[in-house]
Structure 1
Amino acid sequence: MGKRRLEDAIKKIDHPIEVTYRSFELDPTIGRDIKENMYEMLAKKYGMSIEQAKANTENMVRMANELGLDYQMDTLILTNTFDAHRLTLFAKAQGLMKEMTERILLAYFTESKHIGDHAVLAELAGEVGLDKEAVSKMLASDEMADEVRADERTAAQYGVTGVPYYLINKKYALTGAQPTELFVQALEQVIAEDEATG
């Protein structure tokens, strides 16, 4: 949701803005094949009932719908996202990071695909124009692992503890799914400062 609001804000500003996606795992210790569903995981993690977890999630789904996003939390497949992050960085080297990121998010939140599964990731990569065989070979190795870990170390240096987290010009941070207008204000402020000092 935060990504969509940022994109909407950028459309409202008549200035070139470059967005760089970085790797961040909410839970690096989670396994690839999880038996729990989203509600069970949230209930256990935050010490709440399944009903409370569903209510919290329904609110997020409602907000996503307002942005034109169709989140399917009942069928979402929890998994370790490390390999998905490796794939996005592999795609970055091919100039397709934005497309790969968008495709993975759609697969995860809307299509309930298992984004920890290498075959699924290779299929998704093929859909955005990457070579499926090259992606399968990369995923079978430890290629791009150091790059993901470097992103995560950088995030730690900036004090990132959750997502979404936006760092503008390495100076200003916004956290959470902020309203579009807040993104517009922050970006306009940074542009004005850059023009004043440039």
Structure 2
Amino acid sequence: MKIQVWSDYVCPFCYIGKRELEMALEETGFASQAEVEFKAYQLDPNTPVGTTETIHEALAKKYSATPEAMKQQSEGITARAAEVGLEYHFDNMHPENTFKAHRLAKYAATVGKEKELTERLLKAYFTENKRIGDETVLVALAKEVGLEEDAVKSALQDERFAAETLVDMQEAQQIGVRGVPFFVINDKYAISGAQPNDVFTKAIQQVAEEENLKPTLKMFGDDSASCDGDNCKF
């Protein structure tokens, strides 16, 4: 089962949607049979690196509202995140340009660390309020998930990974992605937004039925008090 996920590291619903997908895969028993690929998407490519503006100030300007109104809205998102076990802190959050983070994720995918880095970047931004547009911060986070510092610094300057990031964004336009998160399952079914768990579950079960996939059994306890062809375990 192939699942492609277009998302941005500063999108609060992308982290929530990621967790909803993971929970649905676990609950249906198909987590080990799903190949999840994260695709780059930027909500605002023009966000300046290192801005001192708070997220509430930036959103208030964007939507012609007040910072107080944006803060109230973020409280609802924080509550939604808590429902799936995530902890959000908007008060000390700043807008970030995520192009370098996406670029780094492309490198991480080449060494089997895309999943770990994606989770680390999202937690760093929403829970720890780290400045993920800053290269120094990105290098530190990458090292935490086992990536080598020199390789990371090189990847952040590698035009190949920049090109791959842009390809993802162009593909999103071609298939009509207008917002994130956006999930495509087996190039056939699409889910837009951080939908409730049951939406993901139904889509996964539909694909599993079509592909004749069987869920992976979950084992409870150990293998004591059982016999095989050679002996019995007590």
Alignment TM-score > 0.5, same fold: yes
Partner of 1:149: 166
Are 1:115 and 2:132 counterparts? yes
Distance 1:140 1:93 in 2: 16
Distance 1:123 1:142 in 2: 21
Are 1:14 and 2:29 counterparts? yes
The CA RMSD over aligned residues, in Å, is 1.4
Partner of 1:181: 198
Partner of 2:98: 81
Are 1:47 and 2:64 counterparts? yes
Would you say the 8 A contact 1:122–1:133 is kept in 2? no
Mapping of 1:30-45 within 5 angstroms?
A: 30-45=47-62
| Amino acid of the structure 2 residue aligned with 1:9 | A
| Amino acid of the structure 2 residue aligned with 1:25 | Q
Question: Deviation at 1:143?
Answer: 4.2
Would you say the 8 A contact 1:2–1:176 is kept in 2? yes
Higher helix share: 1
| Amino acid of the structure 1 residue aligned with 2:60 | A
Question: Deviation at 1:141?
Answer: 4.3
Task: Show structure 1 runs of 4+ deviating over 6 A.
Answer: none
Question: Deviation at 1:44?
Answer: 1.5
Distance 1:141 1:22 in 2: 18
Partner of 2:222: none
Would you say the 8 A contact 1:57–1:73 is kept in 2? yes
Mapping of 1:84-163 within 5 angstroms?
A: 84-163=101-180
Q: Which runs of 5 or more structure 1 residues have no equivalent in the other structure?
A: none
| Higher RCO structure, 1 or 2 (CA under 8 Å, sep 6+) | 2
Would you say the 8 A contact 1:100–1:128 is kept in 2? yes
Question: Deviation at 1:193?
Answer: 2.3
Count of aligned residue pairs for this structure pair: 196
Higher strand share: 2
| Amino acid of the structure 2 residue aligned with 1:55 | Q
Question: Deviation at 1:5?
Answer: 0.6
Q: Which stretch has the larger CA shift, 129-138 or 19-28? A: 129-138
Q: Is the alpha carbon distance of 1:143 and 1:117 closer, same or farther for their aligned partners in structure 2, counting shifts above 3 Å?
A: farther
| Cα deviation code 1:109-149 (max 9, x no counterpart) | 11111101111111111111110111112224434100000
Distance 1:69 1:30 in 2: 25
Distance 2:57 2:189 in 1: 35
Q: Which runs of 5 or more structure 2 residues have no equivalent in the other structure?
A: 1-15, 214-234
Would you say the 8 A contact 1:32–1:80 is kept in 2? yes
Question: Deviation at 1:11?
Answer: 0.2
Distance 1:98 1:142 in 2: 22
Question: Deviation at 1:77?
Answer: 2.6
Larger Rg: 2
